[in-house]
Structure 1
């Protein structure tokens, strides 16, 4: 064995990988002065070629992602433009002037037992889990193959047995599988699988990890452009953030295992330098092990079971620098400097004793006419849109809480000028947050509220996507379903639809339905009765079935099935927004899926709880 082989080979390998600008062919490397063994020289040549060629292949990964994003962006803006055109057509409809002066329907009320609205409304007092998916409502004939495919994509499977893990809808699962398949393709495409070139295979796994770093941080940033480009809210995109993180953790582990396997079994004897312990304790490998442990800890603390128990604790060079830049711009420049405002907020502990109403009001700030400045400096002081949320920081709770930010959906109606620019800029804004006490921050805030009536808060935001409201306005019939504190998401949408409708949605003929499912009667204090009365007076048909603790779960599937059948008979498009716990969301999604399969035109937006 040539005792000088290992040092010269490793030195040449490092030099080639550091300075090479493009993949090398086996004959492009001229090696002289190192060794007289042509086989070793040829081996190093081929190994360098495979490593650099693999890195060039993986470098195209983000280009492919950009093309995919461009496709989603094009689809979103086409849909958005179509919805806006539909909204304008409805506003300019000749029949609108004939309906504008009609009085509100006297059949609408917001009593606990539900509305007296349509004579054939569904009785919502049965156990959801024991009912067929569409209850007893009659089904129309099954639709086309296209409808069946759309229904399958919309359908959400039952949780995984035994571990009770909630599954996403089929369309989300399919997209996640496509993402994983893309990464597998870049890992194996023209990758050498012969054991003696296993070093190149392990190196490519490391590059797969690195090229996903910018995507991971982009999906984690609250100010990500992806929401604007695709129309999906941060909450909807969060599942992809988690899947990207999980794939990266797996890639980091596989990278480590493959390099250990290379050192133990695949590396030629003449290229070895010391034993396995020497390999593991080398400077570069120690740093790699630290990174692997960090990834493992991040993955463990991101698990839902860990987050539920320990909520507070949870809180290659060009790619790493890009990720760091995204993180710093989001956290330091945007969120801390441009988007953060401080207010004195009132606190009220509601009837159930576990929910806090935090509210603040202020005079609206006038925005400069410069579009760039308005976009950069836009904060909660200038208003918000339905379904927006803010990050709350309360330094008064202690040093630890002064460094934490906690997201909450804005439960009050958005200022008028966001929904109707022609109405002018309002003079005042009223903001309310419904905060359910659990552990950590929310528990401490509830205890603080028992002895204080107000507190100084810092609000970072607003953040959100107007896609759901735009979708509802483009539909003929609208259905809003809230489960418990999901009313914080649904009420602002209902208010926007009630206060700024299309002219052909005049009171007395609006097909707008609001269903609010609560667990106990005390939860009704979360939304003042006068707000519900105002919605009912505006023509929204409100149903609040008996609390589930008393009457069991309502027949969500039957409720949607009847409305879907009615919309199909009238040749209407039905828009559905649902926000609640997983069981309610899944029941509503799957009811919509079957209605789509049967030919009903439905557009659905699901805003789930959790983070």
Structure 2
């Protein structure tokens, strides 16, 4: 080892890591050496290595510009679609009412309130197990297929779960987008990156920089209040799958970054540049801070797995906050050029948590508690007179708390401090099971609108079990409500379509019956529709008031309530949608479908829609998956 060369080279290398802008060429790297060496090869090597490091950072710094261009494309598509849907809805403003149209339609659109355990068609003709069908296989209707419909159907199709591990896969369009995101990161990692072992330091450094530029995106996708929902039309829970994929890629990048630097230290570093062995490298302050950040992010990944969340949800909530704060602190101290990205990420986290969730969107109420007849489900309800919302441009943003109302399909997070110190720091999501306030009717009557909020809570473990025990002794409880959250995209899509279908199963069944409760009334929402079908699981029938079923029937809506799956078997969703899409295709109408329920139900409906689209039907689908 050359003791005279090592100090200046390592000091120069450390100094270069504090900069993030590349020089125009390797020869432009200024080398200031206190203890000058007469070995030009070493000087040239350090010059080129520093150039590769800074040039790589310059390339990766363009990453977020590419993401901005992609986001602009999704934003344009969203607002064009939204404007088209609004035009379609306004174009039907003077169409016949739903009751008039219902009298002219076949019996499948009549105001039936209950059906048996099977779909309207003969089940012998519709005994289709979509799980065992070939990819989008169906009885062909010549002349209806086109290349665009085939591509659209393939994008809509959801593959079967992964064998053995039984992991549910997303639809092809989501998988394709995730693969494109991964490919983009691979491109930025390898583009003009030196792969020679002697310059492996620059390759390892670039992995760390790829990690850093993804940091704001990770926290933006995790925020409940974010501009991405407004710009793309997707709610934060729909974007959560991308938050998880970004987190997984970053955890892999953090591990690869660490492993690459260990490989550099052990195998690739010139001997004259080494100072000490591997242990000396690991216990260096900068590297210890990096290891702390690595451990924090890997623990974040482990505690975010679905199996862990399902079993230890409270621990998941607490660890997610503590670990990410620790990870940001370690990362800030570890890497000088990471600090702007860390500060932006921290700002996103604090604004979402403190400014929005604990201030602008948080309200406190005294809620009533009622244990339902099954003994394992409770009803949490509250009511209040709604506040007048000032007519100001920023009012929808600054005053959009639950006290100002909510929309169909919205959900809230609740906190009940009286259950104990642990629960006072936790927030738990629940879908709103009651219709939104009818502000329009109240204003016409000259009275202030009143809100009636209901949450159906099925007791399991932890928070819900403690709340059930509390409700058996007390009839009310103070509650803090954070929300509402959701996206109007599915509702806007239904309004724009000629025919609408709502399918719900399991815990999502009450959601299906509250969707018609817009700010006005059922007829205002679903008037001028050819078919209105609501399907939900029979075990929730006792939770649905008869007046709501009668109200739906009077609006010309066809309601199908199968019996419990354990008794009647699964309803033939695929056959039902196949028949309906064929009918709307014959009428040259557009069919809008919203489905929410267990994974198998969602997949069956999605693939039946893909089948119809491939045959030329105009079908639009929204899958509302409730799960965090």
Query: Which range moves more in the overlay, 345-354 or 573-582?
Result: 345-354
| Superposition deviation, residue 497 in structure 1 | 10
User: Shift of residue 99 of structure 1?
Assistant: 4.0
Q: Which of 333, 339, 343 is residue 355 of structure 2 equivalent to?
A: 333
Query: TM-score, with normalisation over the residues of structure 1?
Result: 0.93
Q: 2:235 aligns with which of 226, 233, 239?
A: 233
Aligned to 1:513: 533
Question: Quick one: distance in 2 between partners of 1:554 and 1:545?
Answer: 7
Q: Which of the numbers 107, 110, 113 marks the counterpart of 1:110?
A: 113
Distance 1:418 1:188 in 2: 57
Gaps (5+ residues) in structure 1?
Answer: none
1:355-380 per-position Cα deviation (integer Å, ceiling 9, x unaligned): 22111111010011222244212210
SS state of the match for residue 214, structure 1? Answer: helix
2:516 counterpart (486, 491, 494): 494
CA distance in 2, matches of 1:91, 1:20: 58
Question: Which residue number in structure 2 is paired with residue 11 of structure 1?
Answer: 11
C-alpha contact (below 8 Å) 2:211/2:253 kept by paired residues: yes
Q: Provide the rounded CA distance (Å) in 1 between the counterparts of 2:444 and 2:206.
A: 56
Deviations 1:175-202 (A, max 9, x none): 0000000000000000010000000000
**Shift of residue 418, structure 1, vs aligned partner:** 7.8
Deviation at 1:207, TM superposition (A): 0.6
Aligned to 1:254: 256
Aligned equivalents of 1:547 and 1:233: distance in 2? 31
Secondary structure of 2:497's counterpart equals coil
Asked whether the 8 Å contact 1:232–1:465 carries over to 2, the reply is yes
Are the structure 2 counterparts of residues 424 and 146 from structure 1 closer, same or farther at C-alpha, using a change threshold of 3 Å? farther
Query: 1:166 maps to what in 2?
Result: 168
Confirm whether residue 79 of structure 1 aligns to residue 81 of structure 2: yes
- Go from structure 1 to structure 2 and tell me whether the alpha carbon gap of 1:101 and 1:311 turns closer, same or farther (over 3 Å shift): closer
- Residue 565 of structure 2 corresponds to residue 548 of structure 1: yes
Counterparts in 2 of 1:129 and 1:16: CA distance versus 1, 3 Å:
closer
Pick one of 388, 396, 399 that aligns with 2:421.
Answer: 399
Deviation (angstroms), 1:98: 11
After superposition, the Cα gap between the structure-2 partners of 1:214 and 1:479, relative to the gap in structure 1 and judged at 3 Å, is same
RCO comparison, higher one (Cα < 8 Å, 6+): 1
1:409 corresponds to which residue? 431
Match of 1:484 among 498, 503, 506: 506
1:283 matched to 2:276:
no
Question: Cα gap change, 1:121/1:74 in structure 2, threshold over 3 Å: closer, same or farther?
Answer: farther
Aligned equivalents of 1:562, 1:207: Cα separation in 2: 53
Instruction: Rate the CA distance shift 1:127–1:308 in 2: closer, same or farther, 3 A.
Output: farther
Residue in 1 that maps onto 2:488:
466
Select between 1-10 and 282-291 the one with higher mean Cα deviation: 1-10
1:570 to 561, 573, 587: 587
Q: Deviations over 1:476-535 (max 9, x none)?
A: 0000000121124322323339925469935xx6411111134xx3x3233223222211
Query: In structure 2, what is the equivalent of residue 381 of structure 1?
Result: 403
- The 1-side partners of 2:443 and 2:50 are apart by 61
1:144-200 Cα offsets, whole Å, 9 max, x none, are: 111111000000001000010000000000000000000000000000100000000
Question: Who is 1:591 aligned against?
Answer: 608
Instruction: Return the TM-score normalized by structure 2.
Output: 0.90
CA–CA distance in structure 1, aligned partners of residues 20 and 401 of structure 2 = 47
5+ residue gaps, structure 2: 318-337
Give distance in 1, aligned partners of 2:87 and 2:179: 35
- Cα distance in 1 for partners of 2:203, 2:370 equals 60
Counterpart in 1 of 2:468? 446
Does the C-alpha gap of structure 1 residues 136 and 192 become closer, same or farther in structure 2, counting only changes over 3 Å?
closer
Superposition RMSD in Å: 2.9
Q: How does 1:62-101 map to 2 (within 5 A)?
A: 62-93=64-95, 99=100
Separation in 2, partners of 1:115, 1:434: 27
Shift of 1:599: 0.5
| 1:536 aligned partner | 553
Q: Residue 64 and residue 38 in structure 1: after superposition, are their counterparts in 2 closer, same or farther (change >3 A)? A: same
Structure 2 match to 1:561: 578
Question: Matched residues in 2 for 1:7 and 1:451: separation?
Answer: 73
The CA deviation at 1:549 is 1.2
CA distance in 2, matches of 1:384, 1:363: 13
Contact residue 439 and residue 449 of structure 2 kept, 8 A = no
Contact kept in structure 2, 1:99 and 1:503, CA below 8 Å: no
CA 489–576 in structure 1, closer or farther in 2 if over 3 Å, else same: same
Q: Is the 8 A contact 1:124 1:545 kept in 2?
A: no
Q: Is 1:23 aligned to 2:43, yes or no?
A: no
Q: Distance in 2 between matches of 1:348 and 1:15?
A: 66
Is residue 135–residue 558 contact of structure 1 (8 Å, CA) maintained in 2?
A: no
For 1:600 and 1:420, locate their aligned partners in 2 and report how far apart those are by CA, in whole Å.
Answer: 40
Q: Contact (CA 8 Å) 1:176, 1:243: kept in 2 or not? A: yes
User: What is residue 265 of structure 1 aligned with on the other side?
Assistant: 267
Residue 572 of structure 2 is aligned to residue 524 of structure 1: no
Residue 296 (structure 1) aligned to one of 291, 295, 298:
298
